[in-house]
Chains A and B, each alone.
Chain A
Amino acid sequence: MIDKKIIREHNLTIEEYEKIVQLIGREPNITELGIFSLMWSEHCGYKSSKIHLKRLPVKGKGVIQGPGENAGVIDIGDGLAAVFKIESHNHPSFIEPYQGAATGIGGILRDIFTMGARPIALLDSLRFGPLSSPKNRSIMEGVVSGISGYGNSIGIPTVGGEIYFNNCYSLNPLVNVFALGIAEKDKIFYARAEGRGNPVLYVGAKTGRDGIHGATMASAEFGQDLEKKRPNVQVGDPFKEKLLMEACLEIMAQDLIVGIQDMGAAGLTCSTSEMAAKSKSGIEIDLDLVPQREEGMTPYEIMLSESQERMLLVAKKEKVEEVRKIFSKWDLDAVVIGHVTEGKNLRVKSGGKIVVDLPVEAIVNLCPVYNRESKTPSYLESANRLELPSLPKNFNQAFLKLLSSPTIGNKEWVYRQYDHMVQVNTALLPGADASLLRLKNQKKALAITLDGNSLYSYLNPRTGGKIAVAEACRNLACLGARPMGVTNCLNFGNPEKPEIMWQFKESIKGIAEACKIFNIPVTGGNVSFYNDTEGVSIYPTPVLGVVGIVEDVRKAISPGFKEQGNAVILLGENKEELGASEYLKCLFNMEKGFPPQIDLRKERRIQEFCLDAISNGLLESAHDVSEGGLAVCLAECSFLGEQKIGFKLDLQDEMRLDSLLFGETQSRIVVASKKQNMPRLIELARKRRVKATILGETGGERMVVSHLKQKIIDIPVSEAHRAWRETMPEIFRMK
């Protein structure tokens, strides 16, 4: 008998239950309740976010598929399309870091190849608690191993990403994974269940009891009972997924199917109902036919299982044998478990009886939509109040300390564990501003970056949202890539708390505004709410993934200084802004103030100028200023070049020197150019109303920064490089 306790255990409110009864005209049985609990969960139903996501601009030239499908699709010319998306796998990664991260990779890859695209790259955006704590180190090691283990095995390169550390993520680490694939633009596959009588096939791994209620776990805060949630984490097998991927791509190359959907969150439940809903048809399956790897599974368990590496497809009636043959070549199960029906219900049989009979609309489209209360947070006023600390006595020391902060320090320890070269497309190694993937047999290349500074969002979510978009586009501009489309992963706390809802709405407003000014459509994404534990929320963490195109890969440039005697030029203006900086956090443990201002139009102008300068061959390198400010940007220009060339610069701005060196003022790019190209560069900047200041030149083995001819930073490149390079290895040598 379904009582209040059971309803609550299924993470549904009494009102939601009553709505279900009203929609289906009776009380649901336990399996049907399980179905609603998954499909009406925050994770699957987007109850708290749907209304606000409507603000995001989704139309744009080149959009073949926007939000609503497994991934977004953008036309990249020459008959090809880029298929990409970002997803979160946060809650599972806290419970079981390796498998949580691994299955996150598995899930996002299926979202890509289910559309008919061969995945060619992965990126990840990670957040952990401070690494001074062994528990956080252990979570990070598990997550990195999981991503590595799965991505490497399936042969898709993890080419980039970002990692940040903050107290708020200790009990709520974030694992956002992005994947991109290439498809022929006229051969995109959708989740459709069309054609009455067409067979529905289950393909891939057998179903077990793993991951049951994974989706509902992701839709609630963590409490004291974390260990018990371990069986909720799915277990991945990348080898199985490799076979599945090859088999799927093979059947897709041969016009054998009508529709295909991966079984991810909410497994069979989600795939059957969503495919039917999208086609406005019905679907009937027989659970006795579902390949199972455990005995005695109930209909509830089979429908809710989140066992990995499974797909659901609707084949053309006369093509079933051919489909089976291809899956058999790859040693995978491919079983007809049902068919498309007329009518609009999801009907499930088991043991000869009908155990589920629900209108598909009710499950998928009539999930409640909430416009939750929002309220300006009480922390904000005092958080925005910043009392600047005194200037450091020794800027060299402050600089070295910043270079060895985990957020800024070299991440080779991480990305060496990822095969970032498989598929021979990686034109730029990890560590640069963005990833660059060449397209074989073509001049074009795709650039990708993930960005999202959560401290900015905490201190002003609207600005944080704007900057996330602006910075991602700026990173692409530094390579010479023009942004084409955005996917976003919005990680927030409990939306039932008005202050969190306020953060969410404000972030969306900022993202929407920036996307409009940069003229880039949002093609899809993911919302992860309930990232709280015992009432403590994460900072609002919108992560933006932007994909861009470089028309001629030979013209793309990289951030490192290339040769001695180049002019070093700063595009943009320095301002006195220390708020929300890594400098204040790292040296003074202060997370206060306002994030830097952002003028989106000015930012766009500077990016356009950078793109122009690159395509005219005027720049040897370009690198944007972000965490750590100008000083860290310059140091990175030195470290990222093959020869680690030093520099000698003089800054003239009259302002606090800590702000000049380490403030995170936006819309700034440090470029290097050959001296003979400088006049043309300066002239072009003048015409485009972009401030371009000559700071000095590259050369030597020291990093020397003067202010009005007085040296403020003067250290050997090797010393700075060592501090930066040893950050991660030293941390992980600690026991």
Chain B
Amino acid sequence: MKFGVVIFPGSNCDYDTLYILKEVLKQKTVILWHKEHNLKNVDCVILPGGFSYGDYLRSGAIAKFSPLMQEVKEFALKGGFVLGICNGFQVLLELGLLPGAMLRNKNLKFLCQFVRIRVENEKSPFSQKTRKGQVLKIPIAHFDGNYFAPPETLQELKKNNQVVFRYCDSDGQLSEEANVNGSVESIAGLLNKEGNIMGMMPHPERASELLLGSEDGRDIFESVIDYFES
């Protein structure tokens, strides 16, 4: 399978993601420059972390107007796989491909630290390698990671099993303390209704090598890889 990593002006985790996919997981991966209308036949588009367009206006707000987003939207609506990480998740929300919005972290400060997330939906292509309830150690790094959705949306999300990850403690328990950015219902990652688009605030590419503190992020990439291979 072929991955494509989109680069916006201001993307920072583009080459990190490329490195993990190409060098660590040995997958065919290409760069997708935001100004070109060309998805290069990839099977999975990744919108990486960073500060696209300097986070001007709102995180991800301007990226949605990038030329390539036209193709990404069409690709996604046709069922193509899209993974939005951190700023990428914010772009998916701005594009309307995922419901909800991101607010400032509850402590009003940028937060960079390892957190634990619990697998709520182990059946999606992005999580099928995990078990339900499994605790993954993956880091976050964001100022605006406080996910919000109104009650009706939350109902829908739960009805359709769209919540994939929730922030938890090392024992897998949900708590206010473990929910460091204050996201509603501790939601850390979610799918669209059809299940081909996922957005997550934690950075799986930063938890793909034991040397850097955790390998749990690999499960997410390997889930998609396995899904395609079968």
> B111-154 toward A: CB 8 Å interface, digit per residue (1/0)?
11100000000000000000000000001010100000000000
A143 an interface residue at 8 Å Cβ cutoff?
A: no
Shortest C-beta distance, A335 to chain B (Å), equals 20
Interface residues of B in 44-58 (CB under 8 A from A): 49-51, 53-56
Q: Which of B12, B113, B139, B205 has the most CB of A within 10 A?
A: B12
Cβ of A155 within 8 Å of any chain B Cβ, yes or no, is yes
Q: A155-B51, A417-B109, A417-B112 are in contact. Are A424 and B16 (CB under 8 A)?
A: yes
Given A427-B211, A429-B213, verify A416-B111 contact (CB < 8 Å). Answer: yes
Interface residues of B in 39-87 (CB under 8 A from A): 49-51, 53-56
In the complex, how many angstroms separate the beta carbon of A61 from the nearest chain B beta carbon?
A: 29
Least CB distance from B5 to A in Å reads 13
Q: Known contacts A155-B51, A239-B10, A422-B12; is A427 also within 8 Å of B109 by CB? A: no
**A396 at interface by CB-CB < 8 Å:** no
Contact with B along A204-246 (1 / 0, CB 8 A): 0000000000000000000000000000000001111011000
Expressed in whole angstroms, the Cα–Cα distance for A95 and B12 within the complex equals 31
Known: A152-B141, A427-B212. Contact between A239 and B112, CB under 8 A? no
- Report how far A331 CA is from B54 CA in the complex, Å: 13
Given that A242-B51, A424-B20, A429-B213 are known contacts, is A416 also in contact with B12, CB under 8 Å in the complex? no
With both beta carbons as reference points, the residue of chain B lying nearest to A441 in the complex is identified as B23
Q: Is the CB of A421 within 8 A of B54?
A: no
Contact of B13 with A by CB under 8 A: yes
B209 adjacent to A424 (CB under 8 Å): yes
Chain B hits for A238, CB < 8 A = 51, 54
In angstroms, Cα B210 to Cα A427, docked, is 9
CA A438 – CA B139 in complex, angstroms? 18
Q: Is the CB of A153 within 8 A of B111?
A: no
- Verify B9–A330 contact, CB threshold 8 A: yes
Size category, B interface: 20 to 34
Residues of B within 8 A of A148 (CB): 110
| From B54, B112, B141, B206, residue with most partner A Cβ within 10 Å | B112
Q: How far is the CA of A429 from the CA of B35 in the complex (A)?
A: 36
Question: Within 8 Å of chain A (Cβ to Cβ): is B218?
Answer: no
- A239, A240, A426, A427 pick with most chain B CB within 10 angstroms: A239
Task: Determine whether B203 belongs to the interface, using a CB cutoff of 8 Å to chain A.
Answer: yes
Interface residues of B in 10-45 (CB under 8 A from A): 10, 12-13, 15-16, 19-20, 23, 35
Q: How far is the CB of A256 from chain B (nearest CB, A)?
A: 20
> Which chain A residues border B9 with CB–CB below 8 Å?
239, 242-243, 330-331
Bound-complex Cα distance A330 to B139 (A): 30
Chain A residues lying within 8 Å of B23, measured Cβ to Cβ, are 440-441
Most buried by B among A152, A429, A441: A152
A576 within 8 A of B: no
**CB pair B212 A421 closer than 8 Å:** yes
Interface of chain B residues 203 through 228 with chain A (CB within 8 A): 203, 205-206, 208-209, 211-213
Query: Is the Cβ of B16 less than 8 Å from the Cβ of A422?
Result: yes
* Known A-B contacts A421-B139, A423-B16; A416 and B51 likewise in contact (beta carbons under 8 Å): no
Give the CA-CA distance A329 to B7 in the complex, in Å: 13
Q: Is B54 within 8 A of A419, CB to CB?
A: no
Residues in chain B near residue A152, CB distance under 8 A: 51, 110, 112, 141, 143
Q: With A242-B9, A419-B110 as given contacts, are A424 and B51 in contact (CB-CB < 8 Å)?
A: no
A417-B35 Cα distance, complex, nearest whole Å: 32
Q: What is the CA–CA distance of A243 and B143 in the complex, to the nearest angstrom?
A: 21
Q: By the criterion CB–CB under 8 Å, are A438 and B211 in contact?
A: yes
Q: Mark A438-451, 1 if CB is under 8 A from B, else 0.
A: 10110000000000
Q: Which chain B residue has the least Cβ–Cβ distance from A148? A: B110
Q: Bound complex: CA of A426 vs CA of B51, how far in Å?
A: 20
Q: Would A155 and B12 count as touching, CB distance under 8 A? A: yes
Q: Select A553's contact among B113, B205, B211, beta carbons within 8 Å.
A: B211
- Set of chain A residues within 8 Å of B50, measured between Cβ atoms: 155
Which A403-434 residues have a C-beta within 8 angstroms of B?
A: 412, 415-427, 429
Alpha-carbon distance A269/B35, docked complex (angstroms):
36
Q: Are B55 and A426 in contact (CB under 8 A)?
A: no
Q: Does A154 contact B (CB under 8 A)?
A: yes
A242 and B8 CA atoms in complex are apart in Å by 11
Chain A interface size range: 35 or more
Q: How far, in angstroms, from A421 to B214 measured CA to CA in the complex?
A: 12
Please determine whether B211 and A421 come into contact, CB atoms closer than 8 angstroms: no
Residue of B nearest to A152 (CB): B110
Interface residues in A124-159 by Cβ distance below 8 A to B read 148-149, 152-155
Contacts of B13 in A (CB 8 A): 155, 422
Interface-central residue, B51, B143, B206, B208, by most chain A CB under 10 Å: B51
Q: Which of B53, B112, B209 contacts A420 (CB 8 A)?
A: B112
For residue B141, which residues in chain A have a CB less than 8 angstroms away from its CB?
152, 419, 421-422
Once A152-B141, A155-B13, A155-B51 are accepted as A-B contacts, the answer to whether A416 and B19 lie under 8 Å apart by CB is no
**With A427-B211, A440-B19 in contact, is A242–B112 under 8 Å at CB?**
no
Select from chain A the residue with minimum beta-carbon distance to B206. A421
Chain A nearest Cβ from B22, distance in angstroms: 11
Contact indicator B10/A242 (Cβ below 8 Å):
yes
User: How far, in Å, is B79 (CB) from chain A's closest CB?
Assistant: 30
Chain A proximity of B142: nearest CB distance (Å):
9
In the complex the two chains form, is A153's CB within 8 Å of B211's CB? no
Give A149's nearest chain B residue, CB to CB: B110
CB-nearest residue of chain B to A243: B9
B175 to chain A, nearest CB (A): 18
Contacts of A239 in B (CB 8 A): 9-10, 51, 53-56
Distance (Å) between the CB of B191 and the closest chain A CB?
25
- Asked whether A424 and B212 contact (CB < 8 A) given A152-B141, A154-B12, the answer is yes
Q: What is the 8 Å Cβ interface bit string for chain B, positions 79-106, against chain A (1 contact, 0 not)?
A: 0000000000000000000000000000
Write out the residue numbers on chain B whose beta carbons fall within 8 Å of the beta carbon of A420: 112
Q: Which of B35, B111, B143, B209 has the most CB of A within 10 A?
A: B143
Q: Within the assembled complex, what's the spacing in Å between the Cα atoms of A235 and B32?
A: 32
Please tell me if the beta carbons of B53 and A419 are within 8 angstroms of each other in the complex: no
Quote the shortest CB–CB distance from A467 to chain B (angstroms).
31
In the bound assembly, the distance between CA atoms of A459 and B9 in angstroms comes to 50
Q: How far is the CA of A543 from the CA of B20 in the complex (A)?
A: 36
Interface string of A330-362 (1 = CB under 8 A from B): 110000000000000000000000000000000
Chain A residues contacting B206 (CB-CB under 8 Å) are 421, 424
* Closest A residue to B49 using CB positions: A422
Taken together as a complex, chains A and B put the C-alpha atoms of A452 and B35 apart, in Å, by 47
Which residue of A has the minimal Cβ distance to B141?
A: A419
What residues on B are CB-neighbors of A423 within 8 Å?
12, 15-16
Residue contact B112 to A153, C-beta cutoff 8 Å? no
Looking across the interface, which residue of chain B has its beta carbon closest to that of A554? B211
Cβ contact within 8 Å between B112 and A237: no
CB within 8 Å for A418 and B53 given contacts A239-B9, A440-B23 = no
Whether B209 pairs with A416 at a CB distance below 8 angstroms is: no
On chain A, the residues within 8 Å of B20 by CB distance are 424
| Smallest CB separation, B203 vs chain A (Å) | 7
| A416 cross-chain contacts in B, Cβ below 8 A | 109-113
CA distance A239 to B62 in the complex (A): 13
Which A residue's beta carbon lies closest to that of B51? A153
CB contacts (< 8 Å) of A417 on chain B: these are 109-112
Residues from chain A with a CB closer than 8 A to the CB of B19 are: 424, 440
Give 7 nearest A-B pairs by CB, closest first. Answer: A155-B12, A239-B54, A419-B141, A424-B16, A153-B51, A419-B112, A417-B110
A sample of 10 more A-B contacts (CB under 8 A), given A153-B55, A329-B35, A426-B212, is: A149-B110, A153-B10, A237-B54, A239-B54, A331-B9, A419-B110, A421-B139, A421-B206, A425-B212, A441-B23
List 10 A–B pairs whose Cβ atoms lie within 8 Å, in order of A's numbering. A153-B10, A154-B51, A239-B10, A416-B113, A421-B141, A421-B206, A422-B12, A424-B205, A427-B211, A554-B211
Binding site for A on B (CB under 8 A): 9-10, 12-13, 15-16, 19-20, 23, 35, 49-51, 53-56, 109-113, 139, 141, 143, 203, 205-206, 208-209, 211-213
